[in-house]
Amino acid sequence: MKDNKAAYEAVRGKQKSFTQEVDTVLRRIIKASKIDVVNIESRTKSVDGFCEKAGRDDKDYADPLREITDLSGCRVICYYTSDIEKISNLIEENFDVDQANSIDRLGSDSPQEFGYQSKHIIVSFNADRLRLPDFQEFRKMKAEIQVRTSLQHSWASIEHKLQYKNADHIAPPLRRKLFRIAALLELADEEFNYLEKNIKGVRKDIEERIEGGDLTQTINADSVDIYTISSGVIHEVRDWFKEGGFTVAPAPPSARKPISKLIDTLIVCDIGSVAELDEHLQRVRPRELWREAIKGIHDEWRSISPHPKPVVDTFTIVRMMVLLVANEKLFSKALREVPFGPTLQSSLSKARKLSRPSLMQK
């Protein structure tokens, strides 16, 4: 055992470098594939961890340094079970895979197996990468890459904390509870996978209906987003905001807050469908009257803020359009329940008093 410990201590620095290189390659190929993941983490087994594994009674290692395949370990935690296969394929395309020592628990229905479903892939650098000078020192070194969903990872973490590896080891009163939790997590993974597969189809259907003139769609994130993209009056008013001294920036792609605030505003204003939203915005005739309102908002902004060019996104513009036309009761209620930033809220309130009579003229 002392010889094994000394041998691992001598090479652990190199092992850590290998772990870092595997981690770097893994992050690079996943980023290039545009697969969103929750996290990528890595570790090099500690000296104590190596000695514990090398000395297990159920193992008979002749050469632990060569036979233990998880001295370097990486873990990819993804959102959907469908991503596990995509990421596994990427790994196989970019590494040499030791199939004999890899473990695929996906699809396992054994109630005795509490490790939960995931993939454990044993890899080494392939010939193309080993031709590069910086990688040649890592020849014949192996790492384990685990690929699992966030729910699978939660189960594995709790299982490790509870220290139960087999259902037979669990007291009967607890066994049924743990089986139920495992079933719920697996069902949740399946349902999230279903949603991920079908959400694009639902959005496509809404898009085709709205572009075809069917505006009866109820207000939701997809219908509002699609209408905002396709509406002529919104495009025109957005351009006038730019001409009027505003910077119109896109909402961050990962942020749902701007569209959520728009939807909350529509709910407060009793607008329940795309048709009602369109009718609300089309009430201003001629459209050029929006220019006066935009100028008023900008002038008020300039009078109270040192920043010459206020920044807004399209969803915020639509919120302002809705509220400029709304009656006083709904306007006040919306500002209380779904407020803007202080400067914009003050500017909108003051400009509305001046512009609403002309906006609502018949």
- Domains belonging to the chain, first-starting first, are 2-184 (3.30.460.10), 215-359 (no CATH)
CA 70/CA 50 separation, integer angstroms: 9
What's residue 362's pLDDT?
41
Q: Which residues of 216-241 are buried (b: 16+ CB within 10 A; e: fewer)?
A: ebebeebbbbbbbeebeebeebbebb
**Where residue 167 falls among pLDDT bands split at 50, 70, 90?**
low
Q: pTM for this structure? A: 0.70
Query: Percent of the chain scored above 90 by pLDDT?
Result: 59
* Amino acid 175: pLDDT: 73
Mean pLDDT of the chain: 87
- Report pLDDT digits (tens) over 111-145: 545 445 689 999 999 999 999 999 999 999 999 99
Residue 109: pLDDT above 70?
no
Neighbours of 345 (CB within 10 A): 13
Is the pLDDT at 47 greater than 70? The verdict is yes
Q: How many CB atoms sit inside 10 A of residue 50's CB?
A: 23
DSSP state, residue 313: -
Provide φ and ψ at 306, rounded to 5°.
-75, -10
Q: How far apart are CA 266 and CA 262, in angstroms?
A: 6
Beta-strand relationship, 95-97 and 119-125 = antiparallel
pLDDT-derived band at 154 (thresholds 50, 70, 90) equals confident
Strands 72-78 and 143-149 come out as parallel
pLDDT for 89 equals 96
Residue 98 in this model has a pLDDT that exceeds 90? yes
Single-letter amino acid code for the residue at 282:
Q
Mean pLDDT of 41-61: 90
**Cα dihedral across residues 101, 106, 109, 111: positive or negative:** positive
The span from the CA of 255 to the CA of 338, in Å, is 17
Q: What is the pLDDT of residues 258-270, one digit of tens each?
A: 899 999 999 999 9
Instruction: Give the pair of three-digit tokens for residue 243.
Output: 């001409």
Question: Rounded distance, CA 130 to CA 189, Å?
Answer: 38
